[in-house]
Chains A and B, each alone.
Chain A
Amino acid sequence: MTAPAANSGLPAESALSPPGILRRALNPIPVFLAPALVIYAAFIVYPVLRTFYNSVHVIKPRNVAEFVGFANFATLLQTDPVFWKAVGNTAIFAVVGTAADVVGGLLLALCLFVRVPLARVWRVVWFTPVLMSYVVVGIIWVWIYDYDWGVANIVLHWLGLGAYEQSWLGNPKTALWAVLVTHLWKWLGFNMIISLAALYAIPTEVLGAAELDNCGWLAKLVYVIVPMLRPTLVNLLVLSFIGKMMIFDLVWIMTGGGPLWSTETVSTYVYKRAFDWNTFDLGYPSAIAVLWSLIILLFVALMTQLLSQRDKLEF
Chain B
Amino acid sequence: MTLWLAYIRRTPLLLFVLLYTIATGGPFVWVAVMSVRTTPEIFGNPYALPSRFHWDKFTDAWTSSSYGTYFWNSTIVVVTAVALVTVVGAMAAHCLARYRFRGRRLVRFLILSGMVLPPQLLILSLFQIMVDYRLYNTLTGLIIVYVATQLAMTVYILEGFFAQIPQDLFDAARMDGYSDFEIFWRITLPIGVAAIFTTVTLNFIILWNEFLYAVVLMTEDSKRTLPLGIMHFMGGHQLDVGMIATGLMIAILPVILIYAFFSETMIKGMTAGAVR
Measured CB to CB, the residues of A under 8 A from B are: 9-11, 13-14, 16-18, 21, 23, 25, 28-29, 31-33, 35-37, 39-40, 42-48, 50-51, 54, 59, 63, 108, 111-112, 114, 116-117, 122-136, 139-141, 143-144, 149, 151, 185, 189-190, 193-194, 197-198, 201, 231-232, 235-236, 239, 242, 245-246, 248-249, 252-253, 266-267, 270-271, 274-275, 282, 285-286, 288-290, 292-293, 296-297, 300, 311, 313-315
Contacts and interface: CB of A to CB of B under 8 A. Distances in A.
Given A11-B102, A29-B101, A133-B209, A111 B17 contact: yes
Interface string B82-115: 0000011101101100011111000100110011
Contacts of B270: 130, 190, 193-194
Contacts of A311: 276
B143 to A, nearest CB: 11
Contact of B274 (A25, A37, A116, A314): A314
Contact of A126 (B21, B103, B147, B215): B21
A44 B24 contact: no
B27 to A, nearest CB: 5
B89 to A, nearest CB: 7
B31 A140 contact: yes
Contacts of B149: 44
Contacts of B127: 274, 282
Contacts of A151: 47
B275 A43 contact: no
Contacts of B215: 252
Given A40-B111, A50-B125, A282-B128, A125 B24 contact: yes
B163 interface: no
B248 A290 contact: no
Contact of A35 (B88, B100, B103, B244): B88
A111 to B, nearest CB: 6
B49 interface: no
Contacts of B100: 17
B24 A135 contact: no
Contacts of B122: 44, 47-48, 51
B91 A32 contact: yes
Contacts, number: 264
A149 B147 CA distance: 42
B99 A17 contact: yes
Interface residues of B, number: 94
A124 B181 contact: no
B126 A135 contact: no
Contacts of A249: 211-212
B72 interface: no
Given A126-B20, A131-B205, A139-B248, A116 B111 contact: no
Contacts of B16: 111
Chain A to chain B: the 5 pairs with minimum beta-carbon distance, closest first: A133-B209, A28-B180, A32-B95, A43-B148, A36-B92
A232 B125 CA distance: 35
Most buried by B among A45, A112, A315: A315
A248 B124 CA distance: 14
A293 to B, nearest CB: 4
A134 B124 contact: no
Given A136-B248, A252-B211, 18 more contacts: A23-B180, A28-B181, A40-B111, A43-B144, A45-B110, A47-B122, A54-B125, A111-B20, A125-B24, A135-B211, A136-B252, A194-B271, A194-B275, A239-B274, A267-B120, A289-B121, A289-B124, A314-B156
A125 B101 contact: no
B169 interface: no
Contacts of B156: 314-315
Given A18-B180, A36-B88, A315-B273, A116 B17 contact: yes
Given A47-B122, A286-B124, A129 B24 contact: yes
Given A108-B20, A129-B24, A139-B234, A51 B124 contact: yes
B118 interface: yes
A235 B274 contact: yes
Given A33-B107, A39-B148, A47-B122, A140 B27 contact: yes
A248 B210 CA distance: 12
B135 to A, nearest CB: 10
Contact of B128 (A63, A124, A128, A193): A63
B91 A33 contact: yes
B119 interface: yes
B92 A132 contact: no
Contacts of B56: none
A28, A108, A296 pick with most chain B CB within 10 angstroms: A28
B46 A149 contact: yes
B193 interface: no
Interface in B197-252: 205, 208-212, 215-216, 227, 230-231, 234, 241, 244, 248, 251-252
A43 B107 contact: no
Interface in B243-276: 244, 248, 251-252, 255-256, 259, 263, 266-267, 270-276
B245 to A, nearest CB: 9
Contacts of A134: 209, 211, 227
Contacts of A16: 101
A135 B227 contact: yes
A132 B210 CA distance: 10
Contacts of B115: 313, 315
